[in-house]
Amino acid sequence: MPNSVNTNVGAMIALQNLNQTSSELMQVQARINTGKKIASAKDNGAIWAIAQNQRATSSSLNAVRDSLQRSQSTVDVAIAGGEAVSDLLLQMKEKALAASDSSLDTASRTALNEDFKALRDQVAKSVSNATFNGVNMIGSGGTTIAALANDDGTSKITVQAQDLSLGGIGLASTSSVGTQTLAVQMVTDVGTAIGNVSTALSKLGTGSKAISAHLSFVGKLQDSIDAGVGNLVDADLARESARLTSLQTKQQLGVQALSIANTSSATVLNLFR
């Protein structure tokens, strides 16, 4: 290679290598700063697009979890109300059975009837108060729950409303045990109502369990998706740290090489001495 003061090929090569090292060093520093090996589409367009789509899915699952949790709370409140109704019906049946005794005097029958009516009215109050976020599943014309089950809203978990109002379980708002005949009939009616409430509670319990199981699955699915995205875009910081040290050393050597290349043209002066 001819010696020239106009063109220093060695310096050009040294500068190219130094620029390449600096570019790689900036890339490593960016990965260390962000913790990601693919932080934007220009790093790797295909992988970035895949990761972005999975992030959208994971973000959508947050709405699914909110819907499931809200629905589960609504169903659980309905179950609590239904269980209170069931307990009240057990007491009503006891009062009705006691009032069916033909040997009761008027005062005793009146007292039993008052207790029975108080329990009857409490059933109606329990049903009307079993409301969560403005939704009542066990009142007359109750609301059926349809919770989101996937990230695009095409699948839902449905829990049917159960009518546990007095009319819904086979009793009337005027039911009483004021006479022996009424009391005998009421023993049968209340027994039927207890069975109706038990069946309704079984359905609500099954629905609550289904929501709980799916909520657990969605949480695990979201964690798996987030881990998958991390595998695609997260940087191995231990590896990047080692590479940073290597590139810093390489950069220092590149500076030295460029300095040596820049002094080579000065040797031409020795030829003219």
How remote is the C-alpha of 2 from its chain's centroid? 72
User: What's the whole-model pTM score?
Assistant: 0.77
The predicted structure's pLDDT at residue 269: 66
- Right CATH number for 64-233 from 3.30.2290.10, 2.30.40.10, 1.20.1330.10, 1.10.3720.10? 1.20.1330.10
Name which of 118, 211, 130, 134 is nearest 163 in CA terms. Answer: 130
Round to whole Å and give the CA distance between 210 and 155.
14
Describe the crossing of helices 237-263 and 9-34 by its angle, rounded to 10 degrees.
160
Round to whole Å and give the CA distance between 236 and 35.
8
The predicted structure's pLDDT at residue 133: 92
The predicted structure's pLDDT at residue 265: 67
pLDDT in tens, the chain (273 residues): 556 666 677 778 878 887 888 787 877 777 787 778 887 888 788 988 999 999 999 999 999 999 999 999 999 999 999 999 999 999 999 999 999 998 889 999 999 999 999 999 999 999 999 999 999 999 999 999 999 999 998 999 999 999 999 999 999 999 999 999 999 999 999 999 999 999 999 999 999 999 999 999 999 999 999 999 988 888 877 877 888 788 788 888 888 877 877 776 667 666 666
Would you say 24 and 247 are in contact if contact means Cβ atoms under 8 Å apart? yes
